[in-house]
Structures are given as structure tokens and as C-alpha cells.
């Protein structure tokens, strides 16, 4: 062979070898088991071609639930906004730090002495973070005062919320979220309107009057003087449109109602957050005392219980393993942020977001997550600054399976297609009539431009998988659910 020909062949081989890394670079960033190769192709087809994801980011991480081995990884190490998948971290840290049987405590204290039927001192309601206090619990406190023979409180009714700091909102909460239940203020002393336990909120209901042109009827649950209603709405003729709008004015407890509701039309209802929940809780107790015939001579004020104060009565919340049902099934932001502050108080001695997030970071690191790749700003995921890779969430979900409290954790997750609100939760209307129904147990997440779903799935062949799907930069976050449901159903079909 001539020298020139040999040189040509050598150059050709070098050129061909140089192309190999380029071809490898163009293939999807996927790690897959041999058995998962068909699944990998199906997932690649979906993620690369679905128009919903055009211009967006899809972090997808799937693991074998027994070994933790990655079955599929699509940009799984890229930090993305998790939305309410952040609650998976908060819940795990709270169960590990506080314990599944942990209960919040609220105390009713008094100063001075009881002389005859009069308390010659102050009555003090000391909150320690309980987000589950209902009107009936304040009624029970008032009944204890009555049982002691007291008919007059000569001093003040004081609300002590110093168990936590006085910062009411997490760092990145948008002002536009403040009026709504999911953006309610966090206080150590608060109240909820019903057994969803949206702490620091009231339910405002608007019903049509009997005749058109009249003011609609407004009701509140619970009834409270803490909220002032400005009713600018009208009852419209039968058959008209309902366009009632209910919103609290910023920095006040004035709720304004606008729009029209037709005669015989369905009610309109909103969960509205209050400004300063401590005063709200005090107002409910004041009403309960009055209903028991107990007169308050002093004022209703915020303050601090003195060390000499004596215990009148104590209320304990349900344990965390029960509270986690409304917390995780319904994705309750207030519960998440309260747990952050409670962890800070119990572990660091300070009920603040700063200290609580320190505890959260320490705990997730202990669960094997790489804290150096995380940005954690709150406990609920409402922040657009939170950043977590999908691989880190799937790693957490794998690792916690061995924890003593895991059954409580798993039980708190929404179950696909189960129409019972406290079982199916935020997945109750999703993936019905598919193999995913009943077999996908996962936490949903949604904020503007973000949708997420992470949890566990039992496949048709009986295998268990751990998965995390985080979709960012969507033009419509609700459309992300379509992708998530396709992936989860695809996993359940395996």
C-alpha cells in the first residue's frame, strides 16, 4: 500500500473516532436498566415531542423503590422550582424532628385571684402554633371558665403569640396572595373555620336575596366581629350570571364584595385570610365567653403571659400523623410554614423561618440529599426562589422508606382517582379509569408556570417505583398535569 493511501486511511480513522463523542453527546441524558429500555423510549418520545413542553423544562427522575437505582433520568440534576413538592421535604423533616405523635398545645392562663364570681386579674390565651383551633375549642375554654364559677373577668383578655416571632409571611410570598387562604399569615395564636384547618382564615359566603335589586345575604364561618364586610353587590334577575368577587383590602380586615348574584342562584364562597390572626383568635374566645354569660370588663389586647400566670385549661391538637391528612392531601400551605417555625422553636429555641429552615436543611442532608444543590426558602413551596433537582426528591422518597414513621408519611399522600376528598386529596379527579388509579400515591404541586408530581407507584407487574416530575417554564401550569398523568400512568402500566 502506498504511503499516501495509508495516510488517507489514518486521517479517515481519526476523523471517524472524533465523531464518536459528538454522537454520544446528542443522545438523551438517561440512565436506564435493561428491563426499562422500552419505558425509556416511551418517556423520551413524550418529553421530546409533546407541545405542552415546548420551551419548558421537564425534570424527571424514576428509581427502583427497592434498590434506589435510577431507572430514568431526564435533566434530573437540574435545579427546578418544585412548587408544593417542597412539602415532601417539610413533612419528612417534621416527622423526624417532632415525631408522628407530636401535638401542638394552647393554654388558657390567668393572673390575679378568683374572688366569688369575679376573676380579679387578666385572662390569657397563649398560643403555641396550633393551626387546628376551631370555634368549638374556644367554646370549651369558655366552659372551663364558667365551671370555675367565674361570671366576670375584671382584667383584660390577652393573646400571647410569642411562641413564634412576629414575622407573618415567608420571604418570597407575593402581595397578591395575601388575601387568600393559601397565603394566610402565620401566628402562634390562630384559628381555623372548619376541619380543612386553613388557619388564619374565615369563610365568606354570599347568597342571593329573594328579590332582584336587593343586597345579597352575607354569612361568615365562624361568625366574628373581627371582619368588617362592605357589601357593594346586588341580587340580579333569575337566570343571570354570578360574577361575585370577594376580597380583603390589604393591611385591613375589611372584606369588600362586588358584583351580582342571580335570584335562586348558587352561593358564592371564598376562604379569606385575616390580617393579624392573633386578634381573630381572641375575638372568637371573647364571643365564646359572652355566650357562656361571662362579662369582660377590660380590653382585648396582644401581650405576653407573665411567669406567675396560673393554668386554667389546656388544649392539645391531634397528633401530626392525623394532621398530615389535611396538610398533605389538601396541600395546606399554612401547615407547612407552621411546621417550619415549630421545628425552629423545638430544635433551635426560636420559632422563625430562619431557624426552621436551618433544621430543614440539616434533616434533608441526613436523608442523603445534596444540600449544596438545594435552595430552600419556605416550607410550602409557594416561593418561586426554591430550587430542587428531581433526582434529589426521588432520592429523599427512596431513603425515607426505612423510617419508623414512613407509614404516616405514605398515608398522607394523595391517591390517584380516589374520589374521597381526604383520601384522593388533590389527585381525586386525576388518572381515573386507568392502572394509575389507586396505585399512584404522590404529592402534587402548582404555582404560576410550574407543575410537579412526586411519589410512589405500583406497576401492573407488581414492582414499586419512586418518581419525581418537575415541570418549569410552562405557559399554563395546569397543562403540566396532563404530562404528569401520562408519565404516572405509563409507569403504572409497566
Cell numbers describing residue 329: 392531601
* Set 84, 187, 446, 454: catalytic member: 84
Beta strands in 232-304 (DSSP E): 234-236, 245-248, 254-258, 260-262, 268-273, 295-296, 300-302
Residues 145-185 have pLDDT tens digits of 999 999 999 999 999 999 999 999 999 998 888 889 999 99
Can you tell me the distance from the alpha carbon of 295 to that of 291, in angstroms, rounded to the nearest whole number? 10
Q: pLDDT digits over 338-384, tens only?
A: 999 999 999 999 999 999 999 999 999 999 999 999 999 999 999 99
Asked if residue 1 has pLDDT above 70, the reply is no
Q: pLDDT digits over 286-296, tens only?
A: 999 999 999 99
Decide if pLDDT at 405 tops 50.
yes
Cell triple for 50 = 409533546
Instruction: Residue 106: name the closest of 193, 190, 180 by CA.
Output: 190
Alpha-helical (H) ranges within 262-331 are 277-291, 320-324
pLDDT in tens, 10-21: 444 434 434 434
Strands 388-389, 79-80: pairing is antiparallel
Q: Determine whether 174 is an active site residue.
A: no
Give strand ranges (E) for 68-122: 70-74, 79-80, 105-110, 113-115, 118-120
Instruction: Return the C-alpha cell found at 426.
Output: 388533590
Query: Given this model, what pLDDT does residue 37 score?
Result: 78
Q: Which helix (H) or strand (E) holds 25?
A: helix 3-26
Instruction: Given the residues 179, 187, 192, 331, select the one marked as catalytic.
Output: 331
- Of residues 52, 73, 43, the one with CA closest to residue 471: 52
Name residue 270's beta-bridge partners.
Answer: 204
For residues 9 and 489, which has the higher predicted lDDT (pLDDT)?
A: 489
Cα–Cα distance measured from residue 389 to residue 406, given in angstroms and rounded to the nearest whole number: 22
What is the structure's pLDDT at 386? 97
Averaged pLDDT, 329-337: 97
Per-residue pLDDT at 7 exceeds 70: no
Residue 118 has pLDDT above 50, yes or no: yes
Residues contacting 7, CB < 8 A, separation 6+: none
Identify the active-site residue in 61, 87, 288, 380: 87
Q: Are 337 and 190 in contact (CB under 8 A)?
A: no
Is 331 among the residues known to form the active site? Answer: yes
Residue 261 has pLDDT above 60, yes or no: yes
Residues comprising the chain, all counted: 494
Q: What is the 3-state secondary structure (H, E, C) of 117-181?
A: CEEECCEEEEECCCCCCCHHHHHHHHHHHHHCCCCEECCCEEEECCCCCCCCCCCCCCHHHCCEH
The reply to whether 355 belongs to the active site is no
Each residue's pLDDT tens digit, 429-486: 999 999 999 999 999 999 999 999 999 999 999 999 999 999 999 998 899 999 999 9
Q: What is the DSSP letter of 405?
A: T
> By the 8 A CB rule, do 418 and 375 touch?
no
For residue 456, give the DSSP letter: E
Phi, psi (deg, nearest 5) at residue 373? -105, 5
* Collapsed DSSP state (helix, strand, coil) of residue 443: strand
Could you list the beta-strand ranges (E) of 370-449: 388-389, 440-447
Least confident piece of the model among 30-39, 75-84, 362-371: 30-39
Quick check: 394 and 466 in contact, CB under 8 A? Answer: yes
Q: Which pLDDT score is estimated for 10?
A: 44
Q: Which domains does the chain have, with CATH numbers?
A: 34-101+321-492 (3.40.710.10), 105-168+277-317 (3.50.80.20), 201-271 (no CATH)
Q: Does the pLDDT value for residue 226 go beyond 60? A: yes
Q: What is the chain's mean pLDDT, rounded?
A: 92
Q: Angle 190-306-114 (CA atoms, 0-180°, nearest 5)?
A: 95
For residue 199, what are the contacts with CB-CB under 8 A and spacing of at least 6? 131, 132, 133, 184, 186, 190, 191, 192, 277, 334, 335, 338
Amino acid at each position: 500500500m502506498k504511503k499516501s493511501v495509508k495516510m488517507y486511511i489514518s486521517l479517515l480513522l481519526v476523523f471517524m473516532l472524533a465523531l464518536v463523542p459528538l454522537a454520544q453527546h446528542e443522545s438523551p441524558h438517561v440512565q436506564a436498566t435493561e428491563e426499562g429500555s422500552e419505558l425509556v423510549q416511551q418517556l423520551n418520545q413524550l418529553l421530546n415531542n409533546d407541545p405542552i413542553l415546548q420551551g419548558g423544562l421537564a425534570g424527571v427522575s424514576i428509581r427502583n423503590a427497592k434498590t434506589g437505582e435510577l431507572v430514568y433520568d431526564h435533566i434530573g440534576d437540574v435545579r427546578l422550582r418544585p412548587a408544593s413538592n417542597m412539602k415532601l421535604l417539610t413533612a419528612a423533616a417534621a416527622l423526624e424532628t417532632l415525631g408522628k405523635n407530636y401535638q401542638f398545645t394552647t393554654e388558657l392562663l390567668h393572673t390575679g385571684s378568683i374572688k366569688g364570681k369575679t376573676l380579679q386579674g387578666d385572662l390569657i390565651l397563649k398560643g403555641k402554633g396550633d393551626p387546628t383551633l376551631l370555634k368549638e375549642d374556644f367554646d370549651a375554654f369558655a366552659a372551663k371558665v364558667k365551671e370555675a364559677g367565674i361570671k366576670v373577668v375584671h382584667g383584660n383578655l390577652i393573646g400571647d403569640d410569642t411562641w413564634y416571632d412576629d414575622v407573618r409571611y415567608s420571604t418570597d410570598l407575593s402581595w397578591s396572595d395575601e388575601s387568600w387562604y393559601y397565603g394566610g399569615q402565620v401566628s402562634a395564636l390562630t384559628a381555623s373555620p372548619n376541619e380543612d384547618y386553613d388557619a388564619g382564615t374565615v369563610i365568606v359566603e354570599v347568597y342571593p336575596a329573594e328579590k332582584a335589586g336587593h343586597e345579597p345575604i352575607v354569612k361568615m364561618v365562624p361568625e366574628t366581629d373581627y371582619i368588617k364586610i362592605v357589601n357593594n353587590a346586588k341580587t340580579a334577575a333569575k337566570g343571570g350570571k354570578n360574577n361575585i368577587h370577594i376580597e380583603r383590602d390589604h393591611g385591613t380586615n375589611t372584606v369588600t364584595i362586588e358584583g351580582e348574584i342571580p335570584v335562586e342562584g348558587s352561593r358564592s364562597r371564598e376562604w379569606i385570610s385575616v390580617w393579624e390572626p392573633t386578634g381573630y383568635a381572641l375575638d372568637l374566645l371573647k364571643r365564646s365567653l359572652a355566650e357562656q354569660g361571662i362579662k369582660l370588663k377590660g380590653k382585648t389586647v396582644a401581650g405576653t403571659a407573665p411567669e406567675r400566670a396560673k393554668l386554667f385549661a389546656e388544649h392539645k391538637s391531634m397528633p401530626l400523623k392525623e394532621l398530615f391528612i389535611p396538610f398533605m392531601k389538601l396541600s395546606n400551605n399554612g401547615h407547612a410554614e407552621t411546621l417550619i417555625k415549630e421545628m425552629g422553636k423545638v430544635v433551635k429555641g426560636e420559632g422563625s423561618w430562619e431557624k426552621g429552615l436551618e433544621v430543614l436543611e440539616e434533616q434533608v442532608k441526613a436523608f442523603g440529599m445534596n444540600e449544596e444543590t438545594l435552595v430552600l426558602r419556605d416550607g410550602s413551596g409557594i416561593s418561586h426562589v426554591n430550587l430542587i433537582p428531581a433526582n434529589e426528591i426521588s432520592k429523599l422518597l427512596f431513603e425515607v422508606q426505612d423510617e419508623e414513621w414512613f407509614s404516616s408519611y405514605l398515608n398522607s399522600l394523595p391517591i390517584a382517582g380516589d374520589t374521597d376528598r381526604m383520601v384522593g386529596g388533590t389527585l381525586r379527579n386525576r388518572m381515573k379509569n386507568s392502572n394509575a388509579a389507586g396505585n399512584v400515591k404522590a404529592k402534587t404541586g402548582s404555582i404560576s408556570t410550574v407543575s410537579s408530581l412526586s411519589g410512589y407507584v405500583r406497576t401492573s407487574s407488581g414492582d414499586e417505583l419512586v418518581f419525581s416530575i418537575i415541570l418549569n417554564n410552562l405557559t399554563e401550569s395546569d397543562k403540566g398535569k396532563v404530562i404528569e398523568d401520562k408519565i404516572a400512568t405509563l409507569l403504572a402500566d409497566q
